[in-house]
Amino acid sequence: GESVGLHLPTLSVQEGDNSIINCAYSNSASDYFIWYKQESGKGPQFIIDIRSNMDKRQGQRVTVLLNKTVKHLSLQIAATQPGDSAVYFCAENRGGEYGNKLVFGAGTILRVKS
Amino acid sequence: DGGITQSPKYLFRKEGQNVTLSCEQNLNHDAMYWYRQDPGQGLRLIYYSQIVNDFQKGDIAEGYSVSREKKESFPLTVTSAQKNPTAFYLCASSTQALGGSGYTFGSGTRLTVV
């Protein structure tokens, strides 16, 4: 079936560097994407979202880029901090006969070295 | 404060037993969802409900059952038919109008079969 997936399972970065987490999706009809951060033993925390009519969206220290041509999105974290260490998921919002639902990728572990 | 509450945080089940996980929200959200998360994996959709007294199967509904008698509550029962129930279970709710950014997650229930 169609799914959302990630390229890199683990990413290690030095504190202060920028981080880039990638995600590929296969459902070309999806029109909404979300990035979540999950810390150990906790539920996912919303970071940033983007609609398919946009290529880029910026938040506080984070930027999401969407390339619909190659069905790829990325999350950029500027000046990565130890508190950014977590698992990051991209998710695809799919509409349908029974309403919206989120389809998640496998996740990328981000480790920040001090 | 509005939010979504899952209980218990940890749950132990003997093989052959049914157990029910609680999910309550006071956000006045119409839609509610149950996800399962296995170690090193993303979230997979079990069941979801867009309105009271109606719910739909997700990708891995076998061995699970739900009810939606009240807007605020969406309990999940893990039945004895679920052969590998040990996992982290996450409940979420959303407002359809907001799409992905309207999803709120609970803090999860970790179920272990003993």
- What's the mean pLDDT in B56-62? 94
Question: Is pLDDT at A1 greater than 50 in this prediction?
Answer: no
Contact, A102 vs B100, CB < 8 A?
yes
Least confident span in A7-16, B67-76, B77-86, B105-114: A7-16
Distance, C-alpha B1 to centroid of its chain: 21
Looking at the predicted structure, is the pLDDT value of residue A5 above 60? Answer: no
Buried b / exposed e over A23-35, threshold 16 CB at 10 Å, is bbbeeeebbbbbb
How much is the pLDDT for A108?
93
pLDDT, tens only, A7-53? 448 899 999 999 999 999 878 888 889 999 999 888 999 999 999 99
- Whether the pLDDT of residue A101 is over 60: the answer is yes
Least confident of A105-109, B42-46, B69-73, B107-111: A105-109
Tell if the CB–CB gap between A99 and B108 is shorter than 8 Å: no
Chain-centroid distance of CA B98 in Å reads 20
Distance CA A97, CA B70 (A): 22
Looking at residue A93, its pLDDT comes to 83
Which residue in B41, B42, B45 is closest to A101 by CB distance?
B45
Min Cα distance B16 → chain A (Å) is 26
Residue among B7, B35, B43, B109 with most chain A CBs within 10 A, to mutate: B43
The 10s digit of each residue's pLDDT in A51-67 is: 999 999 999 999 999 99
* Confidence at residue B1, expressed as pLDDT on a 0 to 100 scale: 58
Nearest CA in chain A to B4: A43
Percent of chain B with pLDDT over 90: 73
The position carrying tokens 């994407």 is A33
State how far the Cα of A61 lies from the Cα of A76, in Å rounded to an integer.
8
Q: How far apart are CA B72 and CA B69, in angstroms?
A: 9
Query: What span, in angstroms and rounded, lies between the C-alpha atoms of B88 and B36?
Result: 6
Task: Flag if B50 and A99 touch (Cβ within 8 Å).
Answer: yes
